[in-house]
Structure 1
Amino acid sequence: MTAPSPIDRVPTDRVPTDPVPGADLLIFGAGGQLGRALLRLAPGARAPGRAEADLTDPEACARLIAQSGAAAVINAAAFTAVDAAETDAATAHAVNAEAPGAMARACAARGLPFVHVSTDYVFDGSGTRPWRPDDIPAPLNAYGRGKLAGEGAVAAAGGAWAVLRSAWVFSAEGGDFVSAMLRLGAARDRIEVVEDQVTYPLTTSMLAVPFAKVVRGYSFFGFSFVYI
């Protein structure tokens, strides 16, 4: 379960859709749902693909930051296949833990703001209220443990950083839970799904709002872990 971020004060009817300055912005994971939403807000941002930014090679990501001339860095990339993280733990850990740490250290060394996306999977799902940023993490699976390790690596790097945790993200492009339910609902009379998970779906356009604040010059790096 998740709660609104203390920094996300933008009403839903004021979600920025106009382009923002992005020439000095470097976005990892720009090919994903969130990354594409970020590029719509900052079309001038540099968005390296997998060939240029191999997330299984953390030091290569750090070198890319050093050579980019960027003024700020966003990491929207992740190994998000929860089940596959159990069987391919080395790759998942490199992408979700080691790469963010290397990026954060590279940014800290150059005084660059760094924003990293995490997940509610760092918690165990117990309790009866929405999670707060200061709740103690207790991940139940390899994916959650890797993302938590990534959060720790980012925090340990110092500098100007922020970790934003989100839950069920969806977009019109599909490939997510909401899209799957819509597809199944159109094809079946009855859908069977788990009933012990409480959360709220979040569009990628809304998830991109705090990042738009960063590139527009807002400062919320006094926060460590926030929910959106």
Structure 2
Amino acid sequence: MVRVVVLDYGSGNLRSAERALRRVGADVTVTADFDAALSCDALVVPGVGAFAACMAGLRSVRGERIIGRRLAGGRPVLGICVGMQILFERGIEHGLETAGCAEWPGTVDRLEADVVPHMGWNTVRAPAESVLFGGLDERSRFYFVHSYAARRWELEVRPPFPEPMVTWATHGDDFVAAVENGPLAATQFHPEKSGDAGAQLLQNWLKSVS
């Protein structure tokens, strides 16, 4: 059984993520403990709210160090919603620029759409070779709640990891809906709120790290 830590840094749907992961067979602990988060088989970094607040919370538990050290050792990390956004270099909200974890290049900024936030179900366009979306077809729908996203992808290959696989969605314009990059993966949507499709994605992720 895969030992998963859901990182508790004061932001995110912790219990929803815990329940969803338990349902697909993970041994889950919700904690802010540095050593537990570093040594587990797989780490989930959730997040809701503002980019700056999430980064402040993450730093308060040395979360950016945990993520960096895990990835340096090839140990799996999954970011969800703002937990995905903070993996980019920076976020800009209400004119405030905040440094992120810089695991990926690029900026998270406001969606350009007639209706913001983007709230509800949407389809995504995943690469054919995607592991996360294996067994899911193009009609599968996932649950989004966000006003900000990475709307461009600056391709960069960081050895020894392969070229990132980027999944896109559209709300007004295109934005990054998920990324798979060696041991680092993330989704802008909430798999724990996305019914059977979300459960399948979490199961795929667990199989990829076991």
Q: TM-score, normalised by structure 2?
A: 0.43
Q: Which has the higher contact order (CA 8 A, sep 6+)?
A: 1
Greater strand percent: which structure? Answer: 2
Greater helix percent: which structure? Answer: 1
